[in-house]
Amino acid sequence: MNFEKYPFEKLNELLENIEPNKDFEASVLTIGEPKFETPDFIQRQLASTTSLLQKYPASAGLPELKEAMINFVVNRFNVPLNMNQIIPTFGTREVLFNFPQFALFDKKDPVIAFTNPFYQIYEGAAIASRAEVIHINLTKENNFKAFLSDEELKKCDLVILNYPNNPTSAEMTKEELAVWVKKALEFDFILVNDECYSEIYFDEKDRPSSLLEASIQAGNEKFKNILVMNSISKRSSAPGLRSGFIAGDEEILKEYMKYRTYIGCASPLPLQKAATVAWNESTHVEKFRKTYKRNFELAKEILGINPPKATFYIWLEVDDELEFTKKLYKEKNIKVLPGSFLGREGMGKGYVRIALVENEKKTQEVLKRLKGFLDG
């Protein structure tokens, strides 16, 4: 298999011969990893359950963990699920990689479509599945919203959307997602939405919708052909817990669960116990949202940008994203990620992705440094 280098490896190569300005503290704004302490109540639960390391975890996950995830979905999206409509996963990276291989295995000439620019695991899954790829190109002209023609959709076996979107921070409304649900039924393809940023929003009226909500609105209450994936990593500042889920079409998940028993990625029981209390609690999430909101208020004050409604990314338009990245690192000791490293067919060119995942004080300092660079 011939995989592309990961964006961060490309970035290291781009910057390897550049000496950054040592007058400034190094600031890394490249990776979507929250830089906040995982809440104490989650850490305490993890520490108190280490004796369970003596047991093998079941691939299906603890019943109480599944119940906590179901509670999250019903409380957040008002969508009730049964125990057969959700599977706990070891984060979402692994399921985003292996689910396409499962879903496309029996297809003679499989075709997968996904948003472009993208989280590179989508492309990796396509390569591992030997699938033809159709890129759903996201541009300023289409407001970074996903669209494919009926002719393209007829070819698809699997489509992966990602809203709220990484890296563009774009959203799609429930009504817009419902159109996709109807297309999935009409052309009989599996439709997935990667919803890992659904909980990083800044106003109740702008709460991102789930594809599950859209499925119900479209009259597809059994979620036929519809799946979502979500994770605790951004929501609870706990990427190390590796707690995610896939939920939706019960018939697909029944067969996928059989597949999962073979791939050996069951989460250790102490992690599942800690994840259970995290999924069941929401006040800590609101505290993180307030911090991210303040970071974007600072970005508006200092840089004059319009904050997104969700995610913690700035998708900043620049003249030449590679030269911008190199010069910013050299002059201000700030690392950002060139958008072209996240896309294909020219998508992402002319943009850099900036992750605002630090506390208010650090964010304010680095944004002022960035402003000084932009003002030249």
- Count CB atoms within 10 A of the CB of residue 189: 21
The answer to whether residues 212 and 223 touch, using CB atoms and an 8 Å cutoff, is yes
- Residue-level pLDDT, tens digit, the chain, 376 residues: 889 999 999 999 999 999 999 999 999 999 999 999 999 999 999 999 999 999 999 999 999 999 999 999 999 999 999 999 999 999 999 999 999 999 999 999 999 999 999 999 999 999 999 999 999 999 999 999 999 999 999 999 999 999 999 999 999 999 999 999 999 999 999 999 999 999 999 999 999 999 999 999 999 999 999 999 999 999 999 999 999 999 999 999 999 999 999 998 899 999 999 999 999 999 999 999 999 999 999 999 999 999 999 999 999 999 999 999 999 999 999 999 999 999 999 999 999 999 999 999 999 999 999 999 999 8
- Residues paired with 116 in a beta bridge: 137
Residue 234 has φ and ψ, to the nearest 5°, of: -80, -45
pTM for the model stands at 0.96
CA separation for the pair 69, 361 (Å, rounded): 34
* Strand bridging mode 351-355 / 337-338: antiparallel
Phi, psi of 72 (to 5 degrees): -60, -45
* Rounded (10°) angle between helices 283-303 and 360-375: 20
Q: Where are the beta strands (DSSP E) in the chain?
A: 27-28, 86-90, 111-116, 132-137, 158-161, 190-194, 226-231, 243-248, 313-317, 334-335, 337-338, 351-355
Element (H, E) at 201: none
Per the listing, tokens 């996950």 go with 61
Joined together, the tokens standing for residue 321 give: 């994203």
Domains of the chain, by residue range, sit at: 7-37+284-375, 54-281
pLDDT at 2: 87
Distance CA 261, CA 264 (A): 7
Cα separation of 27 and 172, whole Å? 31
Parallel/antiparallel/unpaired status of strands 27-28 and 132-137? unpaired
Is domain 7-37+284-375 classified as CATH 3.90.1150.10?
A: yes
- The CA distance from 326 to 304, in Å, is 23
Q: Domain 54-281 belongs to what topology?
A: Aspartate Aminotransferase; domain 2 (3.40.640)
Round to whole Å and give the CA distance between 95 and 79. 22
- Residue among 232, 273, 231 at smallest CA distance from 46: 273
Distance of CA 327 to the CA centre of its chain: 29
3-state secondary structure of 91: coil
Question: For residues 292 and 314, what is the distance between their CA atoms, to the nearest angstrom?
Answer: 12
